[in-house]
Amino acid sequence: MKYFRLFANCKIVRGAKRSTLCDLYKGRIKIIPTLLDEVLCKLQEATITDTKIHFESAYDEGIDLYLNDLISDDWGFYTEEPHLFPDMSLEFHSHSLILNSILDWDDNSDYDFSESLRELEELGCENIQIRYYGQDVDVFGHRLISMLKNHNFTYVEFYFREISLHNKDLIGEFINSFLIQKFVVFDCEKTEEMISKEDSNKNLLAQIVYTKSSLSEESCGVIDSKWFYANINFYTEGIDHNTCLNRKVSVSREGFLKNCPSMKNSYGHRSKLSFKELINMEQFNRYWSISKSKVSTCRDCEFRLVCPDCRVFIQDEKDIFSKPAKCKYDPYTSTWS
């Protein structure tokens, strides 16, 4: 008996009008019709022959064509022993008390930046985004590198304005430190591009993004297909958690603690409140479990498990489960406006 199986890392997400296949290893997303979604779901429990019978042999030729196409594109395979290929676990695991953080800083900031890095590392935070709003990134950048040398963060992003960069060779110097993996240069007058820096073995050292967009607390929350993430951690986290705010802490330029720098309300000042105290506050962590399956419209979207969320800029400020205001996609028509 012949079966068809999707590779365990290839997951189907059904939307209101169509579905997606998400390859969590290769980072691919393939849009498929709902009918193929139904066929593939049936194939996970039945032989190809029995599946065709289930659909009254109305789509026999189409099923063969689709399956051959999926196999040639490395989405699945034929087998006579499906029991040898168990499904992968979709449980999200992390021992970190904090997963992500954003630290904002300008020339008037006075909270203890070094102590903030120390406590974040102590709580297991691996990913940090540092946004510098000041006038001299050369000075702040060297100070930042000096502090990062004392820590072991997995992924560090550094945001700043082009006008604050006086030494054009500075980014290369920072890349050679191997402490920052992504640089985003805002308010660029002419350039809009992304550059990947690799070593001699083609291993990625860092990415540099030049954008004309402004560096601002108001600039986040944009939902766009270029920000889709098809990987195991993002996908599994999104099943039961909010992929933007789950176990995330932020410090504003003024030193106030928030879920996100764009939020108006804060929970206290960094000088008086530790991150550990913050994450144990019920009001603070109430956003963590707002998955896309609970959000209006998003729950019917085929991209919901690869798409980041925003709980700050929403269509109805009185409804915490409202659709992100900066999302221009309509899953009921499959169109972007």
Are the C-beta atoms of 34 and 19 separated by less than 8 Å?
A: yes
- Chain region(s) in the chain for CATH 3.90.930: 3-84
Q: What is the mean pLDDT of residues 285-298?
A: 97
Predicted local distance difference test score (pLDDT) of residue 35: 96
The residue written with tokens 């309509």 in the block is 330
What pLDDT shows up at residue 260? Answer: 95
pLDDT for 191: 73
Average pLDDT over residues 106-127: 97
When pLDDT is averaged across residues 101-120 and rounded to a whole number, the result is: 97
Q: What is the mean pLDDT of residues 285-312?
A: 97
Distance CA 131, CA 102 (A): 7
Residues of the chain with pLDDT > 90, as a percent, come to: 87
- Looking at residue 192, what is its pLDDT? 77
88 or 204, which is more confident:
88
pLDDT at 176 over 90: no
Among 319, 22, 304, 317, CA closest to 327: 304
Mean pLDDT calculated for residue range 253-278: 96
- The residue behind tokens 């550990």 is 276
**Residue 310, both tokens:** 């925003």
CB neighbours of 248 closer than 8 A, spacing ≥ 6? 98, 99, 100, 101, 102, 259, 260
Q: What is the mean pLDDT of residues 39-49?
A: 96
The pLDDT value recorded for residue 320 is: 95
Q: What is the pLDDT of residues 121-161, one digit of tens each?
A: 999 999 999 999 999 999 999 999 999 999 999 999 999 99
How confident is the model at residue 199, as a pLDDT? 78
Rounded to 5 degrees, φ, ψ at 148 are -65, -25
| Greatest extent of the chain over all pairs of C-alpha atoms, in Å | 71
Burial of residue 65 (CB within 10 Å: 0-12, 13-18, 19+) is exposed
CB 283 within 8 A of CB 124: no
Compute CA 132 distance to the chain's CA centroid, rounded to the nearest angstrom: 21
Helix, strand, coil percentages for the chain (3-state, nearest 5)? 25, 25, 50
- The CATH class for the domain spanning 3-84 reads alpha beta
